[in-house]
Structure 1
Amino acid sequence: MKQIESRTVDEFLLPEEKLRGIFLQKLKGKTAIEHALSHVSVELSIDIIAKVINRGNLGGEAMVLFFNWAIKQPGISRDIHTYYIIIKALGRRKFFKFMIEILHDMVKEDLQLDLETLSIVMDSFVRVRQVHKALETFGNLEELGLKRDTESLNVLLQCLCRRAHVGAANSLFNAVGGKIKFTCVTYNIMMSGWSKLGRVSEMERILKAMIADGFTPDCSTFSYLIEGSGRAGRIDDAVEIFEQMKEKGCIPDTRVYNAMISNFISIGNFDECVKYYKGLLNSNSDPDLDTYTKLISAFLKARKVADALEIFEEMLVQGIVPTTGSLTSFIEPLCSYGPPHAAMMIYQKARRFGCKISLSAYKLLIMRLSRFGKCGMMLNLWEEMQESGHTSDMEVYENIINGLCNIGHLENAVLVMEEALHKGFFPSRLICSKLNNKLLASNEVEKAYKLFLKIKDARRNENAQRYWRANGWHF
């Protein structure tokens, strides 16, 4: 009987939840855990391994034990890319002891660590401000089968500069000077770090050292100089650098134009932004996603909606597809002021070009349409959201019910409320009270009473669920 019940419960669990659940049983010994894992009816894949490790709250020891069992299973490749999963997961959760042990295991198994592995490890330390551990690891690279050469130095400098530890990067840069050969990339990494802080004097020092070392500044160098000058508020100097690089025969590329556009956005000079954007269109380079994202976001922030829509249209025509996050960032400000027309235009054009829309974007649009009483559009959008694979949550149901109540579509509002309750969502008391009052005002006393009983049952079930979960019973 227990076996049948267990099997029935398992049917409701995802594969990764079944595997993770083994560690909740508190089995004693590695052999017992591996035996239990082997008897879970799951078709193991790299994707499932990643979900088990990245989600939930497994400890470092449990993560390593599961991973070591998983890579022994048939169909799972035991290569460097599979190890990236566990190294990233351990680093993200600060299980550094286990992360280093995995690296040593890789060396023992003759798996050659690459620069990507090194980047993951270094960034894990630097991200939580343990720079000394990153430097210590760099000093002991030979133990991991790597060399302390230019490429590994560039990886560490990149991690430090990206996380704003430019002072530590500069100290390392000065310490290894003459011991490790620098390249143009090394100097540009240092330039990028100082650029983010707007330290023009430091950038000039790096530039002089770069030229003295026999390297010619390239477009990356100039883009960092321009960006850093802009951050320091020296826009005129940035314009001068831009003109000088053309005189020196270095043709500006997309990154350089993007830096100029960013500088003029920062001071709100949109005429100059458009001027450099048009200059980019007329050059040998093409605008990229960064160009369009900067311009559209700036126009939306300044409430220049028509200009933003025009640039968005140009971006799609150029074949540049915005990321899901970028689209959400475009829709969000449009849903904070004015009617939802412009936000819906962005959505419809993006959908026509096959862009993926996030659940957050759908929720913003539904909320805005609900507030403005555009319930026909709202219901169509809700249907499209479900067709795209997103599931409705309580926030979605509340906005749908609220919108239907506002325009007097009470029968539909009741149906949506019943669907929400059936799926285990319990809308807020404010929404329930609003719908109930609207029904009573329309003399729909019987409907209001029936709905009251259903809400009462749902509230009782919700309280029971809270009690279960408080006791660790996740049904």
Structure 2
Amino acid sequence: MEDNNVTPDAITYNSLIKPLCKNRKIDEAKEIFDEMLKRRISPSIRTFHAFFRILRVKEEVFELLDKMKEQGCNPTIETYIMLIRKFCRWRQLDEVNKIWNAMVEDGIGHDRSSYIVLIHGLFLNCKVEEAYKYYIEMQEKGFLPEPKTENMLQAWLSGRQVTEGQVTDLEHNQLEHGSPKKNVKPIPSKFDKEKDFLREPETRSVTREGGFSFWEK
């Protein structure tokens, strides 16, 4: 590039790094990234996002997040939403909580989009009660819920109320007549009830339409 009197900048390097990352040529992308730093060219938010999209190990994600801050490139709300979505797909909810808390520590408030992504991620990881808690918190902050999100959680809430009524009757029956008979179904756990609800065709349809189909990942 310099032979043609073209001085490379962040845009130039990003144009090389992004397609390499997209094609999973991570080693080549890292070489160009290292060259970029040696030339004292500051990586942009696009540079880091290209790497975040292809990382597959949580330690690497947090290492890159630290490096991003060291380079003076502060994570944006889009960065954190990307990472919340990634860890939800990996079903690593402890890391989701770390990212959610890091947003506040870095002075980035939780907005409507981040709530929607978090709620969907928790919902699809069978953490429906926790998702509902954030749904209420979202509304208390004045954010309007996404219609599909509201439909999913309201359907779960209605189903839970019906199921809890049935479970209460079953519990009373077992207390009155002793231990349950062989043909009496055991009382389902909260996790089982939530998992069964998430398997309903209607629920899966709504989540797929919303662009949050994590089922096969």
**Normalising by the residue count of structure 1, what TM-score does the alignment of the two structures yield?**
0.29
Q: Give the conservation status (yes or no) of the 8 Å contact 1:363–1:396.
A: yes
Are the structure 2 counterparts of residues 444 and 414 from structure 1 closer, same or farther at C-alpha, using a change threshold of 3 Å?
farther
The answer to whether structure 1 residue 428 and structure 2 residue 146 are counterparts is yes
Query: Contact 2:17–2:47 at 8 Å: present in 1 too?
Result: no
Q: 1:364 is matched with which residue?
A: 82
The answer as to 2:105 corresponding to 1:395 is no
After TM superposition, list the pairs within 5 Å mapping 1:1-400 onto structure 2: 223=4, 255=7, 258=8, 289=10, 292-312=13-33, 315-316=36-37, 320-328=41-49, 330-331=50-51, 335=53, 339=56, 341=58, 345-400=63-118
CA gap 1:344/1:295 in 2 versus in 1, 3 angstroms = farther
Conservation of the 8 A alpha-carbon contact between 1:296 and 1:312:
yes
Distance 1:426 1:400 in 2: 15
Displacement of 1:399 = 0.9
- Whole-angstrom distance in 2 between the partners of 1:376 and 1:314: 34
Greater shift, 370-379 or 344-353, is seen at: 344-353
Distance 2:70 2:124 in 1: 30
CA gap of 1:372–1:297, structure 2 versus 1, over 3 A, is same
Gaps of 5+ in 2: 166-217
**Percent pairwise identity:** 27
1:343, CA displacement in angstroms? Answer: 5.5
Q: Deviations over 1:148-185 (max 9, x none)?
A: xxxxxxxxxxxxxxxxxxxxxxxxxxxxxxxxxxxxxx
CA distance in 2, matches of 1:411, 1:352: 37
Q: Does 1:413 align with 2:194?
A: no
Aligned position for 2:199: none
Cα deviation for residue 294 of structure 1 reads 3.9
Residue 319 of structure 1: how far off its partner (Å):
5.5
Shift in Å at residue 432 of structure 1? 2.1
Paired residues of 1:371 and 1:403 also in contact (CA < 8 A): yes
TM-score, normalised to structure 2, is 0.58
Give the conservation status (yes or no) of the 8 Å contact 2:84–2:100.
yes
Q: Would the aligned equivalents of 1:325 and 1:358 in 2 still touch at CA under 8 Å?
A: no
Q: Distance in 2 between the 1:424 and 1:393 partners?
A: 10
* Equivalent-residue separation in structure 2 for 1:437 and 1:384 (angstroms): 31
Equivalent residues of 1:373, 1:407 under 8 A apart: yes
Q: Structure 1, residues 245-276: CA drift from partner, whole Å, max 9, x if none?
A: xxxxxxxxx73xx5xxxxxxxxxxxxxxxxxx
RMSD value over aligned CA atoms? Answer: 3.4
Does the CA-based 8 Å contact 2:88-2:125 persist in structure 1?
Answer: no
Say whether the 8 Å CA contact 2:112–2:144 is kept in structure 1. Answer: yes
Q: Is the 8 A contact 1:404 1:410 kept in 2?
A: yes
Deviation at 1:364, TM superposition (A): 2.1
Q: Contact between 2:43 and 2:73, CA under 8 Å: does it hold in 1? A: yes
Residues 428, 289 of structure 1: CA spacing in aligned structure 2 closer, same or farther, 3 A cutoff?
Answer: closer
> How far is the alpha carbon of 1:297 from its aligned partner?
2.1
Offset of residue 354 of structure 1: 4.1
Q: State the distance in 2 between where 1:429 and 1:291 align.
A: 41
Task: Indicate conservation of the 8 Å contact 1:324/1:357, yes or no.
Answer: yes
User: Of the two, which has the highest radius of gyration?
Assistant: 1
Q: Cα distance 1:296–1:387, how it changes in 2: closer, same or farther (>3 A)?
A: same
> SS at 2:85's partner residue?
helix
Q: What letter corresponds to residue 419 of structure 1 in structure 2?
A: E
Distance between the aligned counterparts of 1:323 and 1:315, measured in 2? 11
Aligned length: 162
Q: CA deviation at 1:314?
A: 5.7
Against the structure 1 CA distance between its residues 421 and 345, is the aligned structure 2 distance closer, same or farther, given a 3 Å change threshold? Answer: same
Shift of 1:387: 2.0
- Per-residue CA deviation, residues 120-172 of structure 1 (Å, 9 max, x unaligned), is xxxxxxxxxxxxxxxxxxxxxxxxxxxxxxxxxxxxxxxxxxxxxxxxxxxxx
List runs of 5+ in structure 1 lacking aligned partners: 1-218, 225-253, 259-287, 446-475
C-alpha distance in structure 1 between counterparts of 2:61 and 2:14, whole Å: 16
Q: CA deviation at 1:420?
A: 0.3
The answer to whether the 8 A contact 1:394-1:425 is kept is yes
